[in-house]
Structure 1
Amino acid sequence: MSASRGEFSSRFGFIMAAAGSAVGLGNIWGFPTQTASNGGAAFLVAYLILAFCLAYPALMAELVIGRHGQANAVSALRKVTNQAWQKKFAFLVGFGGIICAGLILSFYAIVAGWMLSATLEPIAQLTGQVQAQTWLSEQSLSRNIIFTAAFIILTIAIISKGVENGIEKWSKRLMPALLGILFMLIIYVMTQEGAVEGLKAYLVPDFSSILNPELLVNALGQAFFSLSLGTSVMIIYGSYISKKENLVSLGAYVTLIDVFIAFVAGLLIIPAMYVAQAQGVQIFSAEGTLLSEDTLVFQVLPALFTSMGYVGIFVGFAFFALMSIAALTSSISMLEAPVSYAVERFALKRLQATWLIGGLIALVSFTIVFNLGSLFGFVITLTTKIAQPLLGLMCCIFVGWIWHRSALLKEIQQGCPEAGNSFFWKVWPWYIKFVCPIAIALVFANSLLS
């Protein structure tokens, strides 16, 4: 690998960075609300099974492509190909993933900006800044622009430092902080009235609903999308892994951490919902469906924090700090995808490329902010429901159908010489060739139909 590209200095650094990319608002916010809306513990069981049986093999496909190519997503995919049409297909998948990552970051930065402003609101309340508190808590053009810009600048500042001094360094700091805050909040919530009922809803499954097709497709979608699949991010991170590392175990660690944090987030959010319900906050409709699923974090939980009195100010601060950290660990990977391409394709300096692309993404974000009602939902649907599953499907096709089996095994065996005789190798190629494409196609079809 060229020294100018940089690489992760340790296994721990890669695991924290890749897990940080996977662990974002989708885990802390999306997974618990999906669980609450899809049968509670039954959804949890389906999610755990599908994450390891389907999402992990797809993650491995992207990591293998990245490490083999030792380059940006487009170049890495092209190195797998031999024919002209395959190289065009590689550009479509690689560059499509880069564009997808940039578009996701453009709306993600807006949501993360809301998290940042919500983190500062309790501070304004404690210091008696009533006007500032009101401004921080209410939707306004000025607030959205300022905090979106602030979040993008934070992301740029980390990415501009490179792989080891930027991505790896800050992932090692942010991920432990995220876990620390998460566990402190869980301990507090578990002492409140109603938490046990929420715990039962989360952990005691109703197996009669576990084979519900809608539940299974939603669980599969959550497993794929929470691992940042289909955005070229894991291809990029894979390209920064040393040839000496065992990719099979690294991919397993990333999947384990991602699933673990999603599971732990459920231990916080779902009991917190029932605590809020015990304190008079309406969580479910008369039909038993979850209210305010998309705005749960900004409506239901702040009502819970308010009902806690003075201590709720500190709990609210800790919760939204947690959400902001989760957003940042994901955003740095999204920006790295286009930055790595610009640096290698156009020979730009990293600092120059980071600010240029960060500025372009900021312009897209501001355009969405100015047209929040019409563009926000559209960009989310375009990227997460259409582009991601299609691009994930294409990556599986690359590894399963275009890359020669012997060359693929040779790459896997670097860092894992015994891979050829392992259970993983006996199962994985067939998963990537047949099962994963069919599963992703089902997710895509469901997204279009819904």
Structure 2
Amino acid sequence: MAAAGSAVGLGNIWGFPTQTASNGGAAFVLVYLVLAFCLAYPALMAELIIGRHGQANAVASLQKLANNQFQKRFAFIVGFGGIVCAGLILSFYAIVAGWMFSATLEPISVIAGTEQATTWLSEQSLSRDLLFTAIFIVLTVSIISKGVENGIEKWSKRLMPALLFILFALIAYVLTQDGAMTGLKAYLVPDFSSILNPSLLVSALGQAFFSLSLGTSVMIIYGSYISKQENLVSLGAYVTLIDVFIAFVAGMLIIPAMYVAQAQGVEIFSASGELLSEDTLVFQVLPALFESMGSIGIYIGFAFFALMSIAALTSSISMLEAPVSYVVEKFALARIQATWLIGFIVSVVSVSIIFNFSALFGFVVQLTTQFAQPLLGMLCCIFAGWIWHRGKLLKEIKEGNESVENTLFWKVWPWYIKFVCPLAIGLVFINSL
């Protein structure tokens, strides 16, 4: 549940619909689904298996597989690179989560009739972004300092059903509105001529790795927390299915809602057909949708953004866990001290991005999610496929799944991560360059 909670977050409900709208709608959805199951799931399995075998932080877990000094250095680069990547993602993630917080408070200020507060909460400003980013980071640090089971798992179990219920209820409402069917067609009927577009491929691959928290050492950490009695193959499949399903459902809401908002006069696309306000799309489309519902829309808007804020938390605490676990184990720091130290460093980066928003925000998002994550995920596949001895790999997977040797998974996965995943990810990047 913690791993699924990590996978389900802003990547699904902010990232996926935005990428879909920016990259040709249904064509992007189709490519994303193919890449999520054909490249992201095998890479997720590699990270979970490495983590459970290592029973330590990402760097130590990878180094346990190394057979010589060169491989140990390579393990450090991959593990530490993932930790840095997780920290950078958290720094922009905290800003977006801060927007979720302010969108949660906005309906309350409307009910209270405080016009000035409503305007401040709804418009992007330096003071608003700094305040809510700081609140989000402090909340993340507070939960992480309590550990995984008491902090992350507890929230994940409560959040998922409530989030799904409100998503389905909103979809049912949206599909009755003018313009919704145009949006549904754009979301579900692909233009096959754009499927091999290089930028679409890179965006879809990056989105699949971003929403599953891959390449950031997070899933290696969660793998280290998984009991030896658990069946890793089915566990990894559940996490992938839950993640992809919620992203798809979020798209079913946001994309038709875009066209509903457009029918109501909200400007979504430029004259040339490009998406306007890409980063803040969700925060324009959804409030317009809630407004169209009349007086009940205020309450639904509050519930939706409150749930999204919690979803953001379940992902952010997993990203903070990656550097924290490394610092705790490497430098023997107390968990609380390590958490506040890393939280402070992430805050400094977040503040730098806020002060240089137009130059840094999009750059950090692209650098981490579209490039660093898939490349680091590919290096984990190389580790599991080329460096880890096949017999030892099988022994680890057989823990909790005695008959795995006779399954289709074992017949396909070892050579798949050895050859297909690195080659396919490499080809996507060469194509994009």
Q: After TM superposition, is the score higher than 0.5?
A: yes
Question: Could you say what secondary structure the match of 2:235 adopts?
Answer: helix
Q: Which residue of 1 aligns with 2:154?
A: 169
1:67 matched to 2:33 = no
- CA–CA distance in structure 1, aligned partners of residues 15 and 339 of structure 2: 29
Q: Deviations over 1:295-328 (max 9, x none)?
A: 2123343334444443432343233224322311
The 8 Å contact of residues 52 and 228 in structure 2, kept in 1 or not, is answered as yes
Q: Which residue of 1 aligns with 2:126?
A: 141
The 8 Å contact of residues 254 and 285 in structure 2, kept in 1 or not, is answered as no
Q: How far apart are 1:208 and its partner, in Å?
A: 4.6
Find the partner of 2:288 among 298, 303, 318.
303
Q: Which residue of 1 aligns with 2:317?
A: 332
Question: Could you say what secondary structure the match of 2:269 adopts?
Answer: coil
Q: Deviations over 1:255-309 (max 9, x none)?
A: 0001100111011111111211222223334454433333212334333444444
If the length of structure 1 is used for normalisation, what is the TM-score? 0.91
- CA–CA distance in structure 2, aligned partners of residues 374 and 193 of structure 1: 37
Q: How far apart are 1:202 and its partner, in Å?
A: 1.9
Q: How far apart are 1:71 and its partner, in Å?
A: 0.4
Find the partner of 2:263 among 255, 272, 278.
278
- CA–CA distance in structure 2, aligned partners of residues 214 and 146 of structure 1: 35
- The structure-2 alpha-carbon separation of the partners of 1:117 and 1:242, relative to structure 1 and needing over 3 Å to count, comes to same
Q: How far apart are 1:436 and its partner, in Å?
A: 0.9
Q: Which residue of 1 aligns with 2:98?
A: 113
Q: Which residue of 2 aligns with 1:3?
A: none
1:348 matched to 2:348 = no
- CA–CA distance in structure 1, aligned partners of residues 365 and 33 of structure 2: 25
- CA–CA distance in structure 1, aligned partners of residues 290 and 431 of structure 2: 36
If the length of structure 2 is used for normalisation, what is the TM-score? 0.94
- CA–CA distance in structure 2, aligned partners of residues 185 and 300 of structure 1: 13
Q: Which residue of 2 aligns with 1:28?
A: 13
**Structure 2, gaps ≥5 residues long:** none
Q: How far apart are 1:445 and its partner, in Å?
A: 4.1
Q: Which residue of 2 aligns with 1:319?
A: 304
Q: Deviations over 1:204-251 (max 9, x none)?
A: 334454454544443233222211110000000000000111100000
Q: Which residue of 2 aligns with 1:248?
A: 233
Q: How far apart are 1:438 and its partner, in Å?
A: 1.9
Find the partner of 1:54 among 8, 21, 39.
39
1:96 matched to 2:73 = no
Question: Could you say what secondary structure the match of 1:50 adopts?
Answer: helix
Q: Which residue of 1 aligns with 2:210?
A: 225
Q: How far apart are 1:36 and its partner, in Å?
A: 2.8
Equivalent AA in structure 2 for residue 230 of structure 1: G
- CA–CA distance in structure 2, aligned partners of residues 312 and 349 of structure 1: 45
1:42 matched to 2:27 = yes
The 8 Å contact of residues 158 and 170 in structure 1, kept in 2 or not, is answered as no
Q: How far apart are 1:380 and its partner, in Å?
A: 2.3
Structure 1 vs Structure 2: percent identity of aligned residues?
A: 80
Q: Deviations over 1:125-170 (max 9, x none)?
A: 1111111112212222222221111101111121111121112112
Q: Which residue of 1 aligns with 2:177?
A: 192
1:380 matched to 2:365 = yes
**Structure 1, gaps ≥5 residues long:** 1-15
* Stretch moving more, 90-99 or 434-443: 434-443
- CA–CA distance in structure 1, aligned partners of residues 359 and 25 of structure 2: 32
Find the partner of 2:111 among 113, 116, 126.
126
- The structure-2 alpha-carbon separation of the partners of 1:301 and 1:163, relative to structure 1 and needing over 3 Å to count, comes to closer
Find the partner of 1:358 among 343, 347, 351.
343
Equivalent AA in structure 2 for residue 434 of structure 1: F
Equivalent AA in structure 1 for residue 5 of structure 2: G
- The structure-2 alpha-carbon separation of the partners of 1:400 and 1:203, relative to structure 1 and needing over 3 Å to count, comes to same
- CA–CA distance in structure 1, aligned partners of residues 269 and 178 of structure 2: 17
1:402 matched to 2:387 = yes
